[in-house]
């Protein structure tokens, strides 16, 4: 039997709608985002998906998306593990700003590098900045040196993959069915690692809101193929 893991980016958030850099800022789902999540839950139910474990980030747009999906699947009781390692990439000093404002300030070329290159970090924030995760109680049990002040995709990969290796992969090897609801860049990090996508091509990979990505693994738990479920 084919082993599958389902990856889903959260539904549209209020700041997606406003075209702002969001990162670790904890914004609500938009009305449309809630509908997207419910529709996805119904799609998974229609395709007869059933899960043993689910994983999400510490950010409510992902947590609520997962709840809407599980409600539609009639699995609201499912075990959920939350980790900061699945959070969106931290956009540093860009967080909270309108993307067009930032383009006007720094120019198209520089902003494209920050958004789409693999290893160029955005402008960093100071640890006294209220946007630094160390000032948020939910991360009080995380080593302050591990919390980001602004991340490239490369740095995001470095924190996501240990969570896959230590927590999710052992569940998969026990033939458990797993659902992961997270963010565009944390899921991009996972896709790159599992499907051996190079640093240039991973940046082009689209992770649409609330569209399931099905990862299939062979009997040795090596990824064999992936596709969008629509």
> What 8-state DSSP symbol labels residue 227?
E
Q: What is the dihedral of CA 183, 4, 223, 193, to 10 degrees?
A: 20
Burial-class residue 227 by CB neighbours within 10 Å (0-12, 13-18, 19+). exposed
- How far is residue 219's CA from residue 143's CA, in Å, rounded to a whole number? 37
206, 7 in Cβ contact below 8 A?
A: no
Type and span of the H or E element at 9: strand 3-9
> What 8-state DSSP symbol labels residue 51?
-
Query: Is 88 designated active site?
Result: yes
Q: Which of 12, 36, 55, 88 is catalytic?
A: 88
Q: Can you tell me whether residue 117 is helix, strand or coil?
A: coil
Chain centroid to CA 217: how far? Answer: 20
Query: Is 101 designated active site?
Result: no
173, 221 in Cβ contact below 8 A?
A: yes
Which residues are designated catalytic? 10, 88
């Amino acid at each position: 039997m084919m082993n599958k893991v389902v990856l889903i980016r959260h539904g549209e958030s209020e700041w997606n709608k406003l075209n702002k850099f969001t990162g670790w800022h904890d914004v609500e789902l938009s009305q449309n985002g809630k509908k997207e999540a419910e529709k996805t839950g119904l799609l998974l139910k229609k395709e007869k998906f059933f899960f043993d474990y689910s994983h999400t980030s510490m950010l409510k747009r992902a947590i609520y998306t997962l709840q809407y999906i599980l409600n539609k699947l009639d699995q609201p009781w499912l075990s959920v593990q939350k980790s900061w390692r699945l959070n969106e990439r931290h956009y540093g000093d860009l967080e909270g700003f309108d993307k067009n404002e930032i383009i006007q300030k720094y120019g198209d070329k520089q902003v494209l590098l920050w958004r789409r290159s693999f290893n160029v970090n955005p402008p960093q924030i100071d640890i006294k900045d209220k946007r630094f995760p160390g000032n948020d109680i939910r991360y009080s049990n995380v080593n302050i040196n591990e919390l980001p002040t602004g991340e490239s995709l490369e740095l995001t990969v470095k924190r996501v993959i240990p969570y896959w290796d230590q927590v999710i992969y052992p569940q998969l090897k026990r033939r458990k069915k797993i659902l992961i609801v997270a963010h565009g860049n944390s899921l991009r990090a996972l896709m790159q690692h599992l499907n051996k996508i190079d640093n240039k091509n991973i940046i082009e990979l689209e992770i649409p809101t609330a569209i399931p990505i099905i990862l299939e693994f062979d009997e040795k738990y090596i990824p064999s193929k992936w596709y969008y479920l629509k």
